[in-house]
Amino acid sequence: MTNSVVRARFAPSPTGYLHIGGARTALFNWIFARQQGGDFVLRIEDTDSERSRPELIDVIFRALEWLGLDWDGTPVHQSERAHLYADAISQLLAQGDAYWCQCTPDEVKARAEERGGTPGYDGFCATKNLGPGDGRVVRFKVPDEGATSFTDIIRGDVTFENAVLEDFVIQRSNGTPMFHLANAVDDAEQNITHVIRGEDLINVTPKVLLLRNALGITTPLTFAHLPLIVNEKRQKLSKRRDDVSVGDYIDRGYLSEAMVNYLSTLGWGPSDGIEIRPLAEIVQMFRLEDVNKAGAFFDVKKLQHFNGEYIRNLSVPQFVTRSTRWLFDDTPWPAPNFDIAKFEVLAPLVQERVKLLSEVPSYVDFVFLDDPVIDEDAWNKVMVKNADLARDILPYALSVFADCEWNAHSIEVALFAYAEQNDIAKGKVQAPVRVSVTGRSVGPPLFESLEVLGRTEVLRRLTAAVERMG
């Protein structure tokens, strides 16, 4: 173990926010590294200056931090190590394993179409012995014969015939290296031992292997290509068409523990069938070789269920703390109206009802709003369709609430006396009071809510509701 320390890496390209697929890749790398007592390092693959957006690098780091995936050492930025790639390219050129090419993309494409059949580069400049020059790229000379194989921990042996691989570009015409090249160089330079990434990259593996071979890199590198996370149409998650930014899930009130736990069940599952469990246990049980081969659908419904479980497992103070953001920013009520003491009373009741922290405000807004927001559907059902009952109950509530003791239990006894006297279901009796006071037909238990709101305000809202009924 000492001389074979595992080093796994997550190598995002800062062309977008961290998305679900990237988060899962990072997570599996992290789990594997931690389980093996190895390192988990980061590498920013920003060789394409055209597409890279430096400001996103920090966003990605923060998303990883939110997920709790701590990394070892300082992240490497490919844009800062151009010399390493330049050296490798010079070596390849000197060895005759690469050559300069002056074909434009359009020319390559045109010839391919003319040729019919397989698209791709035809080796047009392979024997021209061109030197550097404006608009010229460097291409790697793929052997015409033979095959490149590797053993994938998840997929077993995978083989590509070299003949189907074109002479691919390793240095752009602007002088920057392509990612295959940077990849081969960096994995060696960073002593990476395991490459764990999405299956969409499996086909670039032979290219990287060919490059490593030509560069004389002999240190072993083990691959594990993870199944893709897919949408309802079973297609690879796309930043454009799918809702996959990790940041968006944070904003919607998902707990990172729930997200990480859920992600761990995509492509893998503990053999005892217990899905919801601490990350530490997952690290213990996880086996890279047990990861599935087939793509997994990202099921938000199931994620929500996990989230609800995690929320309910929080202590009440933790729940209050975690809800902070939704209590102070962008609230439906005027900020000065908020009273944390009142929220804390209702917190345990809200906690077992929400699946997302973002739902918290809608459960307590009536307490901090000057007037409740009336839900029209609820009003129609309870105050219009059942107006007769409401007209009996509201005056009754107004009178008993005026002088009963003001605590949840007494309020309940006072109101439900009506249910017993008139032999009406309690559910029917509480409805008009709930709608009058909270504006909604659903919410936390009514009597605790009334207690928190206070007698004066409850009476005022009840009166207002009677007037509104006309």
Partner RNA sequence: GCCCCCAUCGUCCAGCGGCCUAGGACGCCGGCCUUUCACGCCGGUAACACGGGUUCAAAUCCCGUUGGGGGUGCCA
- Whole-angstrom Cα distance, residue 22 to residue 3? 30
Host H or E run for residue 8: strand 7-10
Q: Active-site residue numbers? A: 239
The dihedral region occupied by 116, where left means phi > 0, alpha psi between -120 and 50, and beta the remainder, is: left
Nearest distance, CB of residue 377 and RNA, angstroms = 12
| Binding residues for RNA, total number by CB under 7 A | 88
Residues between 291 and 350 that touch RNA (CB under 7 A)? 292-297, 299, 301-302, 304-305, 308-309, 312
H or E segment to which residue 94 belongs = helix 82-95
DSSP codes, 186-216: HHHHTT--EEEEEGGGGGGHHHHHHHHHHTT
Specify the amino acid at residue 30.
Answer: W
Q: Is 431 in the site for RNA (CB under 7 A)?
A: yes
Binding positions for RNA, 81-110, rule CB under 7 A: 103-105, 108
Question: Considering beta carbons, is residue 7 or 440 the nearer one to RNA?
Answer: 440
Question: Rounded to whole angstroms, how far apart are CA atoms 376 and 387?
Answer: 14
- Binding of RNA by 447 (CB under 7 A): yes
Q: Which stretch binds RNA (CB under 7 A): 184-192, 249-257, 263-271, 334-342?
A: 263-271
Residue 36's nearest CA partner among 152, 169, 161, 193 is 193
Listed ranges 27-35, 196-204, 246-254, 452-460: which one lies at the site for RNA (CB under 7 A)? 196-204
Q: Is 261 exposed, middle or buried (0-12, 13-18, 19+ CB in 10 A)?
A: buried
Nearer to RNA, 4 or 421 (CB): 421
Subset of 119-158 contacting RNA (CB under 7 A): 119-121, 135, 137, 155-156, 158
Give the C-alpha distances (Å, rounded to integers) separating 378 from 411, 441, 442, 444.
23, 6, 9, 15
434 binds RNA (CB under 7 A): yes
Please give the Cα distance from 410 to 402 (Å, whole number): 12
Closest residue by Cα to residue 265 from 248, 247, 285: 285
The verdict on 70 binding RNA (CB under 7 A) reads: no
Interface residue with RNA among 123, 143, 247, 270 (CB under 7 A) is 270
Binding part of the chain for RNA, among 118-126, 185-193, 323-331, 366-374 by CB under 7 A, reads 118-126
Per-residue contact flags (x/-) with RNA for residues 352 to 391, judged by CB under 7 A? xx--------------------------------------
User: Judged by CB, which is closer to RNA: 325, or 426?
Assistant: 426
Nearer to RNA, 264 or 328 (CB): 264
Exposed, middle or buried by CB within 10 Å (0-12, 13-18, 19+), for 114?
A: exposed
Contacts of 210 (CB under 8 A, 6+ apart): 140, 142, 143, 148, 162, 165
Q: Which of residues 12-51 bind RNA (CB under 7 A)?
A: 13, 15, 45, 47-48, 50-51
Least Å distance, CB 149 to RNA, is 9
Residue of 265, 358, 362, 386 interacting with RNA (CB under 7 A): 265
Q: How far is the CB of 118 from RNA (least distance, A)?
A: 4
Map the footprint of RNA across residues 161-180, applying CB under 7 A: 161, 164, 168-169, 172-174, 178-179
Task: Find the shortest distance in angstroms from Cβ 199 to RNA.
Answer: 6
Select from 228, 288, 320, 346 the one that contacts RNA (CB under 7 A).
Answer: 228
Nearer to RNA, 135 or 332 (CB): 135
Window of 29-37, 57-65, 67-75, 441-449 that interacts with RNA by CB under 7 A: 441-449
CA 360 to chain centre: 21
Question: Near RNA by CB under 7 A, which window of 125-133, 324-332, 396-404, 440-448?
Answer: 440-448
- Using the rule CB under 7 A, which residue among 203, 219, 337, 399 binds RNA? 203
Please say whether the beta carbons of 98 and 121 come within 8 A: no
Report whether 230 contacts 296 (CB < 8 A). yes
For RNA, give the closer residue by CB, 329 or 376.
376
Query: In angstroms, rounded to a whole number, what is the distance separating the alpha carbons of residues 384 and 88?
Result: 79
Q: Which is nearer to RNA, 281 or 328 (CB)?
A: 281
The 10 Å Cβ neighbour count of residue 1 is: 8
Structure tokens, 251: 């904003």
Question: Which lies closer to RNA via its Cβ, residue 85 or residue 335?
Answer: 85
**What ranges in 229-299 are assigned the alpha helix state H?**
246-251, 256-264, 279-285
